[in-house]
Amino acid sequence: MSSVPSATALAWAAADPYEAALRAGRGPLFLRRTDGWLLPLEVERWCAGADPVDRDVLDRCEGAVLDVGCGPGRLVAELAARGRAALGIDVSEAAVEHTARLGGQALRRSVFEQLPGEGRWDTVLLMDGNIGIGGDPRALLERVTGLLRPGGLLIAETAPADVDERVRVHITDARATTGDPFPWARLGTRALLRYARGRWERAGQWTAGGRHFAALRSRSSRTTSSSAEPPKRTAVISSQRGRNTSGGRPVADR
């Protein structure tokens, strides 16, 4: 695997302010660019339960769900409470422990490492700015393609601004900064759609609670739904698939 994603994972895992914030359930916490600009990280929201905007996203998910960069696990826990098959991955030990306490399943692992159920996940989530992982959107989208089943769904939360930025950042609580800078990206929806051309079909785009989202479907010859809208019929099918305990369920793999 590329050394860039590995450097990113090591930086997050070793960032004392990040671990401390997750264990405390509160910030302040920021990504600091090398020019000093600070991007606030919403630790309190991440450590709370899934809110209405989150739940709307989860209503749009299909089948077994992989939450990449799950943080303290609010989404995985909400899916588990619904009886859905879901797994979170995060490079932070504190994040994985918090997810388990909430009743969700999580592994301490980078998205660029070997993962359970590769090529068989129905939905992959990149929430809370995680489209920036690794600082290379094309590489991340390519990796997600390998995680999803043919025709699978990616739901990504994008930046509210029309931005396409690749930077090097530190994690900081504005008092302490640890480790070397690592690559990160910030993408608005238009930028994400540009990177997705050729390998993905647009399946939805929406804004809720001041947050912005896009759904993409990996191109496949299989017949699939063309939209990530959550009609009742789709929600019922997704719920039934999530409770499937057959040998094909990715969460069962370890």
SS3 214: strand
SS3 155: strand
Cβ-contact 157, 42 below 8 angstroms: no
Residue 238 has pLDDT above 90, yes or no: no
Cβ-contact 15, 9 below 8 angstroms: no
| Lowest-pLDDT range of 36-40, 149-153, 206-210, 220-224 | 220-224
Residues contacting 193, CB < 8 A, separation 6+? 202, 214
Amino acid 6: pLDDT: 57
Amino acid 222: pLDDT: 44
Instruction: Give the model's confidence band at 239: pLDDT under 50 very low, under 70 low, under 90 confident, else very high.
Output: very low
CA dihedral (46, 161, 173, 181) positive or negative: positive
Could you tell me the domains of the chain? 51-165+184-244 (3.40.50.150)
CB burial of residue 63 (10 Å; 0-12, 13-18, 19+): buried
b/e burial code for range 86-108 (CB count within 10 A of at least 16 → b): bbbbbbbebbbbbbeebebbbeb
Write the pLDDT tens digit of every residue in 175-184: 766 677 899 9
pLDDT above 90: percentage of residues in the chain: 71
Cβ-contact 186, 41 below 8 angstroms: no
Instruction: Give the model's confidence band at 7: pLDDT under 50 very low, under 70 low, under 90 confident, else very high.
Output: low
Q: What is the mean pLDDT of residues 84-93?
A: 96
Measured CA to CA, the distance from residue 202 to residue 209 in angstroms comes to 22
Q: What is the mean pLDDT of residues 57-66?
A: 98
Q: What is the mean pLDDT of residues 97-104?
A: 96
The pTM for the full model equals 0.83
Write the pLDDT tens digit of every residue in 111-146: 999 999 999 999 999 999 999 999 999 999 999 999
Amino acid 178: pLDDT: 67
Amino acid 251: pLDDT: 56
Amino acid 17: pLDDT: 86
End-to-end CA distance of the chain: 20
Cβ-contact 163, 191 below 8 angstroms: yes
Give whole-number Cα distances, 165 to 14, 33, 68, 137, 148, in Å: 24, 11, 20, 10, 26
